[in-house]
Amino acid sequence: MNAPLGWAGRPVPILNAENGRPLITREGMETHDHSIMTVPLRAIRKPGDPAVEALQDAETGPPEPTEYFAYGSNMATARLRQRIPSAKPLGVATLSGHELRFHKRSKDGSGKCNAFATDDTESAVVGVIFCFDPSERRELDAAGGTGKGYDAAMVTVVNDKGRRRKVLTYIASNDAIDESLRPYSWYKDHVLAGAQEHGLPQDYLDEHIAMVETVEDPDVARASKERATYSA
C-alpha cells in the first residue's frame, strides 16, 4: 500500500488570473474562486527547498513599433539603409491633415522636411512605409533627428491598399521651425530620389517637392558625399 501523501498544509502562492497578483491558499482547501488552484505541496516543494517567493506583477507596455513612415530624405531606400540596414519598403502611404514643408531648422543652417499639422483635412503628406528591426530603433531615432528638433510620434496613415496603419514617424518641434529657411540642393535631391523610386503621385511631386527653392551647400565636400549615396 502506498504511503500517504502527507499534506503539509503550508501556504503555496498561486497566480490570480484576473489581475496577476499572488494569492495564498492551502493544500486540500476547497474554494469556489475559479482563479485559485489547489495543488499538493509535495508535488512542487520538498523539505529543505528555499522559501517560495511571491509572484511579482508583470510590467508590460505597448509593443515596439516595426513600421516607419518616411516622407523626406529617408524615403530614398539607399539613404535609409545607410542608417538602418534592415529597412524594407512596404509601399506608399498618406498622412492626412498634414502638409510637407522644408522649414525644420538644421544644425547645418538649412531647412529640412517636416510633416506640418494643419487644420485642413484636405491636405496630406505622401510618403513611404518601411518595416525595420526594432533592435535598430535607436539608430532610427538618431536618423529621424529625435532630440535635435524632431519628436518621435505614432501616427495613422492610409496605405496604397486603403488600409489604415499605425506607424512611427518624426515631426518637427514647434521651436525648431523657421519659415525663412531653404533646403540644400543635395537634400532636395534625396527627397526627389525617394519620391521617384517609390512612385509617389506626379502631381504631389511637382507641387510639394520639385518646385521648392534650394540653396547650395557651402560645404562642397559634404555635398559631394551626399550625392555619392546613389553612385554605383
| 10-residue stretch averages of pLDDT, the chain, 232 residues long | 48 50 48 50 61 57 82 95 96 98 96 95 96 95 88 96 96 96 97 97 97 97 91 60
User: For the chain, what is the largest distance between any 2 Cα atoms, rounded to a whole number of angstroms?
Assistant: 95
Query: Quick one: how many helices (H) and strands (E) in the chain?
Result: 6, 9
Overall size of the chain counted in residues: 232
Report the C-alpha dihedral over residues 158, 146, 134, 84, rounded to 10 degrees. Answer: 90
The response to whether 72 counts as a known ligand-binding position is yes
The response to whether 184 counts as a known ligand-binding position is no
- Positions of E strands within the chain: 11-15, 22-26, 67-70, 88-96, 98-105, 111-117, 124-131, 150-159, 164-172
User: How many angstroms separate the Cα of 151 from the Cα of each of 10, 92, 99, 114, 189?
Assistant: 54, 22, 17, 11, 24
Buried b (16+ CB within 10 A) or exposed e, 61-95: eeeebebbbbbbbbbbbebbbeebebbebeebbbb
Domain regions of the chain by residue span: 11-44, 67-230
Residue 115: partners with Cβ closer than 8 Å, 6 or more residues away: 71, 95, 98, 99, 100, 125, 127, 155, 169, 171
The response to whether 170 counts as a known ligand-binding position is no
- List the end-to-end C-alpha distance of the chain, in Å, as a whole number: 83
Tell the CATH topology of 67-230.
Hypothetical upf0131 protein ytfp (3.10.490)
Give dist(CA 12, CA 45) in Å, integer. Answer: 9
When computed from its CA atoms, the radius of gyration of the chain, rounded to whole angstroms, is 28
The response to whether 230 counts as a known ligand-binding position is no
The response to whether 68 counts as a known ligand-binding position is yes
The response to whether 204 counts as a known ligand-binding position is no
CB atoms within 10 A of CB 165: 16
Question: Does residue 166 contact residue 159 with C-beta atoms inside 8 Å?
Answer: no
Question: For residue 7, what pLDDT is reported?
Answer: 44
Question: For residue 25, what pLDDT is reported?
Answer: 47
The response to whether 71 counts as a known ligand-binding position is yes
Give dist(CA 109, CA 182) in Å, integer. Answer: 9
Whole-model pTM above 0.75? no
Question: For residue 28, what pLDDT is reported?
Answer: 46
